[in-house]
Amino acid sequence: MEDAWTFGLAAVLVAWVLLWLWRDRLLISDVEQRHVFVTGCDSGFGNLLCKRLERRGFRVLAGCLTEAGASELRHATGPNLRTCLLDVTDSESVRRAAEWAKEEVGDKEWMQVEDFQSTLRVNMMGVIEVTLAFLPLVKRARGRLVNVASVLGRVGANGGGYCMSKFGVECFSDCLRRDIHYFGVKVCIIEPGFFKTAITSLEPLERELHRLWGQLSAEVRESYGDKYFDDYIKLQRLIMNNLCDPDLSKVTNCMEHALMARYPRTRYSAGWDAKLVWIPLSYTPTFVLDSVLKMMMPRPAHSV
């Protein structure tokens, strides 16, 4: 009986590996209708990738730092490759390249770079700047740093800058902890679930969603559909009205323990939704997490 179970398990494992290898070798079709935007194309990886993709039939949009690099690339490829000058350290150059690509491909989607920058400045860069400013004092006292991230720093559940900023706080805190533990400094990360705060208030959230929806082009709005937007608003209300915990002391209790415990934890999950849903989900394989979020989110009208 034991041999049969072992054989069956081995057969399932082999079948799974073969299926994965088969799926991994399947290629998309209609590449001639697909655009690829590549940066750093004067030389190196970007340059070689452009040449290979153009030979495969893609419509390649290549961003080059210099006109000489762009000219060399155009001469080395065929008519399916277009170039533009792009300095990724220059915001105006990035804006011009995006406008050029938009003319080549289509219109803009929901978020603009300014929407990301405002959130990242507060939630990530603000944390980093304050931490670095006070770090000499903390090192001298062999003290502690307690940074507030979020369960959405473990699970990228939606678009926009919030999840990115919290992933950034997680990464910054992890790296800092490994750098300064030699000096007796402990770094703790608080990962709250959903709580009733000003950030989760429905009125400003819905106002921002309506602003983003209103700035979309007619083509992009049509691709999502009015029903998608209405369903998204309903989902937001469902989460904020039923999932958000009004007991903020669950978060502050974690903060106090991080400051007062002789052996503080590296991470604190505050709230039952964090402990039972979001943190466990963050350990699941990516395809499982994607499937769960896909079931939760509304479906755009022109989805495939």
Q: Where in the chain are the domains?
A: 2-105, 113-296
- pLDDT of 178 reads 95
- pLDDT of 110 reads 64
- The type of residue at 200 is T
Contacts of 35 (CB under 8 A, 6+ apart): 58, 59, 60, 61, 101, 104, 105
> Comparing C-alpha atoms, which of 278, 272, 269 is closest to residue 244?
272
Contacts of 165 (CB under 8 A, 6+ apart): 119, 120, 122, 123, 124
Catalytic, 232? Answer no
- pLDDT of 144 reads 86
Q: Higher pLDDT residue, 159 or 282? A: 282
pLDDT in tens, 100-129: 887 777 655 666 777 788 888 888 998 899
Please state which of the ranges 23-32, 128-137, 240-249, 262-271 shows the lowest mean pLDDT. Answer: 23-32
- Sequence length of the chain is 304
pTM more than 0.85: no
Q: Residues of the chain with pLDDT > 70: what percent? A: 97
Q: Domain 113-296: which topology? A: Rossmann fold (3.40.50)
Cross-sheet strand order for the sheet of 59-64: 35-38, 59-64, 81-85
- pLDDT of 72 reads 93
2-105 matches 113-296 in fold: yes
Instruction: Please tell me the CATH superfamily of domain 2-105, with its number.
Output: NAD(P)-binding Rossmann-like Domain (3.40.50.720)
Cα-Cα end-to-end distance for the chain = 46
Q: Which of 162, 224, 228, 268 is catalytic?
A: 162
pLDDT in tens, 198-223: 777 888 888 888 888 888 888 888 88
| Average confidence (pLDDT) over 240-263 | 87
Residue 304 has pLDDT above 90, yes or no: no
Angle between helices 44-56 and 67-76 (to 10 degrees): 30
Task: List, in sequence order, every residue forming a beta bridge with 188; answer none if it has no partner.
Answer: 146
pLDDT in tens, 273-282: 999 999 999 9
Residue 160 has pLDDT above 80, yes or no: no
Q: How many CA atoms, within 13 angstroms, populate the side-chain half-sphere of residue 260?
A: 6
